[in-house]
Amino acid sequence: MKETSVYDCTILELHKHHNDQKGNLTVVQSDETVPFQVKRVYYLYDVPGGEDRGSHAHKNLKQLIVAASGSFSVTLDDGKVKRTFMLNRPYQGLLVAPGIWRDLYDFSSGAICLVLASELYDADDYIRDYDSFLEYKEVHP
């Protein structure tokens, strides 16, 4: 696997089709807007105030994380450097490289965290223990 750091993760500005009367529309296209083929979409919602999500890394999965509604914070960690992003615009997406630990928190009431993912669900792709993640990054920096 390619080495990854938090600097491989970035905010993508997604095109907003704006109509004064009818509102907005944002589209994400596989291999175009995002640098991977989108194989799976899931979303987090009804996250109670004060609850955290994430707290894991993926070995191979690439993701685009969008605050489709409301806001939340994401801290990314490559084992050496942490970067925190506050997502609160439906026309921005956080591109997350493989091999990055992520914590999602500070969900606003009604927040929807939309995730576009490069692979189908695979429980074996998860690293859920932080010490195991640090060991994994020693081998796959």
- From candidates 10, 51, 121, 132, binder to ligand TYD by CB under 6 A: 121
Report residue 118 as tokens.
């490069």
Q: What is the 3-state secondary structure (H, E, C) of 49-78?
A: CCCCEEEEEECCCCEEEEEEECCEEEEEEC
Distance CA 58, CA 100 (A): 7
Q: For residue 45, state whether it binds ligand TYD (rule: CB under 6 A).
A: no
Q: Which is nearer to ligand TYD, 3 or 129 (CB)?
A: 129
Distance CA 114, CA 116 (A): 7
- Supply the DSSP symbol for 102: E
- From candidates 6, 44, 76, 111, binder to ligand TYD by CB under 6 A: 44
* Catalytic one of 17, 18, 56, 58: 56
Q: Closest distance between ligand TYD and the C-beta of residue 125, in Å?
A: 10
> Site residues (CB under 6 A) for ligand TYD?
40, 42, 44, 53-54, 56, 121
